[in-house]
Amino acid sequence: MALRQQQPIVTCVLYQTSAGFHQPLLQRDLSRKLASVELVPYHSPSFRAHALINQLPSVKVVRKFVRESLVPAANVGERTLIVTRQAAAWNLPPSTKNLVIHKGGETRGASLSPNSHGGQAILRHYRIF
């Protein structure tokens, strides 16, 4: 996910948590706790090769990482997973906890604003909301 799509929520978290803290330290802390994992980091409005996705070795690796590392951490409350696009392509177990899936219009921009479902989940995770 592009930084411009994360910027609104990053700014909100930094602003809400900055009282009495040094801003560069907050940014460093946030950068260690907030990550973007993309199934296919290729952005093009004309991309139509969706059938090839399951054949890519990189897709298999990232799905394994999510399934073996991030999903267990989410299930015990250590992580919040936010799927902004193509939720079905991730093959996440339906029982996954702390999972937010963008739907409808939210998937088009995939923005993490303070008003999006994903942005609100981040604010809850930081106990701001």
| pTM for the predicted model, two decimal places | 0.73
Q: What is the pLDDT of residue 4?
A: 45
Which residue would you say has higher pLDDT here, 96 or 122?
96
Is residue 94 domain-resident? yes
Is residue 45 domain-resident? no
Separation CA 56–CA 61 (nearest Å): 9
pLDDT, tens digit, 9 for 90 and up, residues 18-67: 555 556 666 666 666 777 788 887 666 777 777 888 888 998 999 999 99
Is residue 114 domain-resident? yes
Closest of 55, 43, 91, 52 to residue 70, by C-alpha = 91
Q: What percent of the chain has pLDDT over 90?
A: 19
Is residue 51 domain-resident? no
Is residue 87 domain-resident? yes
